[in-house]
Structures are given as C-alpha cells and as structure tokens.
A and B are shown apart, each in its own frame.
Chain A
C-alpha cells in the first residue's frame, strides 16, 4: 500500500528534476538517459524512476512511510476510542442505541458522503481548499497538482478506513469480553414503531442474508428504558441481541463505503500515475528517452585551419596591365562582356588564355620575361580560388611590380551572392605574395 504514495512522491520529484532539464539539448539528454537505462537490466517502471532519481537527483526523502503509518495508527486508535467511549457503561446503565447510531454510524457515514461529494464535485471543499491555499506556489501551479490532490484524497480515505477498522476492532473486543446491554431512551415522544421502522430500513441490505441481524418490534419495545425509573426486570440476553444489527450497521454503513471509496480512489490514482508517463510532457518525454533507441551524432575531433583574414578592400579602378591572364575555361557568353571592358579600358594588352595545365608554364615564362610589367589574372569570381591558382600566382610573382586578381562576377548573379563569394577571394589574397592586389570590379562594369 505504501507504494501508491511513494509513486506519487517519486513522480513529483521526477517532474521537479525534469524542469531543470527543460532548456537542455534533447539529444544529450537522450544519450544520458538511454545509456543509464541500458545499464539497468530488467526492472519495474517505478524502480527505474527511483534509480534514476538516485543517480541524477537525490533519493526520495525518508519518513514518508513512517508518516503514513503514524497517521493510520492514530486513526485506528481514534476509531477504537470512539467505540470504546460509546460502549463504556456503568454496571446498571445501558448503552444508548441512539447515541451509538448517531456518533458511531451517522457521523462517519455523513463524513463519507461529504468526502464523496468533494471528490466527485468540481467545487472546492473547505478542507482541500484550505490545504490548497496554504500549499507552496510551485505546488499550486504544478501540472501534477491533480495527482497530488488525488494522493491526498487516497490518504484521507485510508485514514478513514483505518478509523473504521479501529471502530470495528473495538466493537468486536467489547462483544467478546463484556456483556453489552443496549437500550434506547428519549424524552421526546418517539414510539417504538418509529424506531423499528428506522431499524428495518437500515437493516434492509442484509435482511435476507442474516435475518437475525434485523431487530424485531419486540426487541425495540422491550429495550426502551427510562433513566429516572427504577431498574426494570428484563431479560439480559434480550438486551444484548442488538449486537448483530449494530455490527452489520458498522460493516455496511461505515466500513464498506470507506473500503469501496478507498479502492475507487486508489484505482483512479493508480491510473493517473500511469497516465503521467503519457500525459505529462516532461515525464512522458523522459520515459520516451529511456525506451527509445538513442540516435546520436558523433563528430571526429579535428583541428581545421579556420577562416583566413580577409583583406578589407582592393584597388578601385581596373588596373591597366599589359599582361592579362584568363584563368580557366570561359564560354563566349562569359568571356564576351569581360573582353569588352578590357578593350575599352586598357589600350593595349597581351592576353594569355590558360585553359589547362599545359599552358601554365608557358604563360608564366612569357610574363616573367618582362618582370616590370604589371599583370592581371582574370578569374571566374563565382568559383572559389584554388591551390592551382595560388601556385600560378606564386610562379609569376614579382617584387618590382604589383600583380592583380580580378574575380569577375557572373552576369545576373544577385549582389548578396556576389558579396558572399567575394569573401573567399578576400581571404585568398593574404595567402599570396605581397605584390598581389584584388580588384573586384566597379559598379559601371
């Protein structure tokens, strides 16, 4: 029985712990939880919760079992004391049936009805409302507060059931060790027939099951007494016959309703506890992480060079170079506009087309023949610079004259894309000898 309270406490603690993980990477959480789960072997759901909390938070605080046990014991003693008080009598007095019915049966039965109303109805009930109002704010806004409320209800039902058990135990003990003599008495004009009618109604559930536990009219009439009158000679055995009726009343109107409502609330709580693994976002996510295979990414640790320094700008005007190298294979559509610009801006220049590797050495040789002449390499700006280009640049390097790189933008390409591609060229220049300058074209081109 302790389990049900422990489960609620475990779920609350788990939820509080998972709140801390809200902003954490799901993948990492899954790796952590799944690897822990795989190391556990076959175990129950609740043991998993307990074990996980022990591993990643803290164990459930002790004392919960002691608290529940103490409350139960106190309730049992209180129930025992109530019946003990009702049945205690002096030698010449009789036990007042009406008091017994009012305090021993009607009282607990009405409390049970009120409890039932509070549990089923949606409105707040004074006791619970008070508890809720006094609860810490995290508990009030807790998504598990319905579960905690239900746990409190189950605990109250268990306490009440033990109270009823205490009553039953006391009644049994008194039956066994004393000769109980019941009677009824009233200053008001209540007839024996009225009381008999009432007892017949109360005994209706067991009238066929145990007819002896239904008081007869004779019994009702003969057990009436007047406190002020001298003790009448009555059959002592007759006055004790009420015990069957009272025992059945205790069982049917006190113990059975409590037992049923306790079982019902336990069932509801159990259902809620299990539902939390599917309905509570954090707990369900946690459970899913344990149950599903963990998909993880792993990156090999390597040291990349990182981005090179980019030159801030380059030359603003087209350099008037007598040597122009056309790097790569250009289609007529790509080369045409560039050729036009070169022809219009540079009066005379030598063009070297370098479609493939075999032309590289020859071109370099030609350029280096006139080391004081400026040279410009026209490249496809939409392609990134490569090592082969860098090698060529180095092969025609000159300390005396600047060299230029012109990455030509692709016609029709959006400016932001051109700008992004130019970043590679800006980063490329620092890797070349100092004589190299970048020309990125001018707006009128």
Chain B
C-alpha cells in the first residue's frame, strides 16, 4: 500500500470521472471525451511536490456490467468480513480473461488500498440500477466518498443525495468545470475525513497547492504590470525625410495600423504567458483586438541633434554661454557684476534657438548624429490604463479560475468597462496616479510594486457568478 493517499475515481460511464481527476490534479492533459466508454484502462495521475507524490488519483473505466459482477459476487454466500476477499477473488478470477475487463480495472486499485470517489451526474435522475455499482463498492470495504457532479444542472441532486447517503460515508456536490480553488481545497479536506490516516499528507498537499497558487497569483500580477507598463509607454518612431513633409498625413493611417499591430502583439505575448502560467495549454482565447485611434495617441515630430531635442539644445547652449561669461566675470575679479554670465547665457540661448533650425539641414551627415523623426505614441488617453487593465485582468482571472477539466475553446468575455465600473472613484484616481508614476519610475519603482499588489488582490477575488458548489450535498449526510 502506498504511503501517499490514493483515490480511485469510479462510477458509471460518462459521469465526469476524468473531469474530476483533471480538476483535482490541475492537469488539462487528462483525456476527457463526451463519448462514453473511451477509458478502458485505469490511469494514475499523481500530484508531486519536488518529486514526492502528495496525492494520486486513479481515473478508472466506468462500470459496464455491474449487475453481472454483483451476481458473480453473490453466487457464494459470504459473511461481511469476507466480502472484500470475495471482490479480490473476482479480480483474480477475471484478470486477463477479457471478461469484466472494465470492472477488474476499476476494482484493482481499490483493492490495492485506494479510497473510493464515486462520481454521479446530479442533472440526471437517480435510478435503482446504480445500486449494483454502489453495492459492489460497499463490498470492497474501502472508505468511500460520493461526488455529485452537476454537469448540466442540479435538478436531481436531492434525489441522488438521499440514495448515496445509504451507501457512502461522505457525499459532496462538486462541479469540476466551475469549482474554485477554495472548493478544491474543501474537497481535499473532505478526503482527509475519508482517510484520517492520510490527514498529514493531504494537509501538506493542500498547503502546497495554496502556496503554488499564491506564487502564480504574484507572478500573474507581475506579468500584468509589465504588460501595462509596456503598453502605456509604447511608441513607434520613423525617420522623416525632408521630401516627406507633405506626405506625413497620407502615411499616418498606415503608421496607426502598425502601432495597433505591435500593441496587440505585445498583449498577445503576455496573454500567452498568463495561459502558460496557469497551465492552460489547450485554451483558444478569443479576445477582441485592441484598437487605438489616432486621436488617442501622442503625435510628435521630433528633431534631435547629438541626442538632444531642440529645448534641451537651447538649454545646453545657454548654459555653455553662461559658463563662458562666468569665466569673463572671474577674469575681471567680479567687477562686471555677473553681466558676462547673463550676457553669455542670453547669447548662447538665442544662438541655440535660432541656430538649431538652420544647422539641422546644413550639417554634414556624419556630424548630424540626430534626425527628424515622426513619433506616434504613447497613448495619451487616460482611460487607456483601464482598458488595458480591464482586458488583462479579465483574461488572467478567467485563466486562473478556469477548470483544467474544461475542453471547450475558451472565449474570454472582455468588457473593459467592468473593472472601471467595479472601482470606486477614489480607487480609480489612485490607479490613474499609480499608472502615471509607473510611466515615470519604470518597473523598478514603488508604483509598480503598488500596482502589483492591487492586481494580485483583484486576481484573487472570485469571479462574479462563481457557483459555490463544493458543499455537502445533504446536510444530514453521514
């Protein structure tokens, strides 16, 4: 028997057993098929922490011939203490024969010591036919938990709960497609009730999962902050030729399109990183394109010489003139009453102002060390920060909360206004202020840390409409 907890996920075919395994092991590589009977061989999925197995789930084939199996078991009258041995005898008898293949695959891990997680579909009516399966599981003598999986609704949950309580010590309602992290944790705690001897292992697994999640939240916040900074400061520039003066307007739509294309490429790359962070390899996010109009962009024509723009050049030449004047003042022992400095500064400044325009086209190319360029961006619209945050938070939260059991192409419903609407005015002002500081300070500044903390908080909040489904299916349940 393994030292770590092992649970066999069993049940009728097509009741979401593989989905439960995928959700609990956070593994979207578990094969889940809408067609029943695709699982023919029991498959083990382990959750490891630094190589050590914390929890192992066995995805088993569904019962195919439970009535026949029970009939075989009942053929020989045995006392309660011999029932498990009878099940073992069943396995030994049919193993490798091709008969009762699914039942043998299903019962083998249970008889090897695995706890039982019996999965039923709470959206379909209960039927007494299931009792053969439940009776066989009772024969095994292993600790048993039943999970009502409301795949398509909760219409028959009560019916199921009443029946399951007759056969199982614990009954829980758990939707693997929608369960939040808290609900996963609660289910792990339920496992601990099922097998008290494994309580320590399960507590470690729960703690590791929680730490793992917190680490991912922190990393997600860093990625979103970096994306925000990249998009808020993004600009493109293009060298301008003298002959292009008249054509600038005509070239503008193309430049804006190029700007948007690059903006989307940056966002896409970060989005992929978020998907990989939360372990969704098969997600096909469909998010509307980020589109910025020309009116929302800074649009500047810059001219620089030796790396300095005109204003900086004027200041530099004024400073140089003043310094020369100061030398003159010093030479006459201060008798000039600083007029040299003043005059030098004014002359330097004026010559800088007037000279740069003349100089820029007349300097030989080798000496120019600068050029005229057309700069588009960054986005000047203050609401852009909320658009970016809205999109990236919606995506990141959807990925964080998306169950690994889901196999549908994921379309994240993005509403950039949602984040803004959910925020109070004071919070909005704070975010705007932080984003302005982020532009100035960069990612190493305090504003980036404050934004990261805020984003982490936002990510940690449950999604609206999150169904609280990891609860006892019946308060009176044993």
Contacts and interface: CB of A to CB of B under 8 A. Distances in A.
Interface string B308-319: 100010001000
B279 A424 contact: no
B322 to A, nearest CB: 13
A129 B25 CA distance: 53
A22 B65 contact: no
Contact of B307 (A129, A279, A285, A380): A129
A25 to B, nearest CB: 5
B252 interface: no
Interface string A301-337: 0111111101000000000000000001101001000
A343 B33 CA distance: 37
Interface string B26-43: 110111011111111111
Contacts of A383: 12, 124, 127
A126 B41 CA distance: 71
A385 to B, nearest CB: 7
B84 to A, nearest CB: 23
B6 to A, nearest CB: 12
Interface in B434-478: 440, 442-444, 448-449
Contacts of B125: 331, 334, 382, 410
A103 B470 CA distance: 80
Interface in B126-148: 127-129
B91 to A, nearest CB: 17
B279 A26 contact: yes
Interface residues of B toward A: which range?
Answer: 35 or more
A421 B38 CA distance: 14
Interface in A416-443: 417, 420-421, 423-424, 427-428
A329 B67 CA distance: 13
Contacts of A310: 35
A388 B124 contact: no
A23 B271 CA distance: 9
Given A188-B333, A299-B43, A281 B307 contact: no
B433 interface: no
Contacts of B165: none
A288 B35 contact: no
Contact of B279 (A27, A356, A382, A414): A27
Contacts of B195: none
A236 interface: no
Contacts of B285: none
Interface residues of A, number: 78
A387 B64 contact: yes
B127 A297 contact: no
Nearest to B40: A305
Given A129-B306, A293-B208, A302-B43, A424 B272 contact: no
A295 B212 contact: yes
A275 B50 contact: no
Given A304-B38, A304-B40, A329 B276 contact: no
Contact of B222 (A130, A284, A356, A420): A284
B436 to A, nearest CB: 14
Interface in A372-409: 380, 382-388, 391
B65 A295 contact: no
A132 interface: yes
A424 B277 CA distance: 34
Contact of B304 (A27, A133, A147): A133
Interface string B201-218: 000000011011001101
Nearest to B441: A146
A427 B63 CA distance: 17
B250 interface: no
Nearest to A416: B152
Contacts of A380: 127
A23 B269 contact: yes
Contacts of A35: 51
Contact of B308 (A124, A191, A279): A124
A87 B25 CA distance: 79
B219 A281 contact: yes
A388 B103 CA distance: 12
B47 A295 contact: yes
| Residue of A194, A281, A299, A328 with most partner-chain B CB within 10 A | A281
Nearest to A25: B276
Contact of B225 (A27, A129, A281, A420): A281
Contact of B276 (A24, A34, A280, A307): A24
B307 A305 contact: no
B300 interface: no
B306 A126 contact: yes
B411 interface: no
Interface string A277-301: 0011100110010001111111110
Contacts of B448: 279
B222 A285 contact: yes
A163 B43 CA distance: 71
B124 A424 contact: no
| Residue of A38, A123, A276 with most partner-chain B CB within 10 A | A123
A189 interface: yes
A307 B38 contact: yes
A143 interface: yes
B333 A308 contact: no
Contact of A386 (B13, B43, B226): B13
B160 to A, nearest CB: 14
Contacts of A356: 67
B286 interface: no
A143 B226 CA distance: 9
Given A129-B307, A331-B125, A194 B444 contact: no
A289 to B, nearest CB: 9
Contacts of B40: 304-305
A297 B29 contact: yes
Contacts of B43: 299-300, 302, 304
B14 interface: yes
Nearest to B105: A302
B127 A328 contact: yes
B152 A424 contact: no
A34 B281 CA distance: 21
A23 B283 CA distance: 13
Contact of B41 (A147, A189, A190, A304): A304
Given A23-B269, A297-B29, A305-B40, A130 B369 contact: yes
A272 interface: yes
A141 to B, nearest CB: 8
A357 interface: yes
B48 interface: yes
Given A295-B208, A302-B43, A334-B125, A26 B277 contact: yes
A188 B333 CA distance: 9
B333 A194 contact: yes
Contacts of A357: 67-68, 71
B102 interface: yes
A387 B306 CA distance: 82
B45 A297 contact: yes
Contacts of B25: 297
B215 A292 contact: yes
B331 interface: yes
Interface in A122-166: 122-124, 126, 128-133, 143, 146-147
B449 to A, nearest CB: 7
A279 B444 contact: yes
Contacts of A414: 152
B332 interface: yes
Nearest to A272: B444
Nearest to B327: A102
Contacts of B306: 126, 129-130
Given A126-B307, A308-B37, A391-B68, 8 more contacts: A35-B51, A188-B331, A281-B226, A292-B215, A296-B51, A329-B127, A386-B64, A420-B34
Ranked nearest first, the 10 interchain pairs of A and B with the lowest CB-CB distance are A387-B64, A129-B307, A384-B36, A281-B222, A297-B27, A424-B36, A300-B44, A281-B226, A130-B307, A384-B14
7 contacts: A38-B50, A129-B308, A272-B444, A284-B222, A299-B43, A299-B45, A300-B44
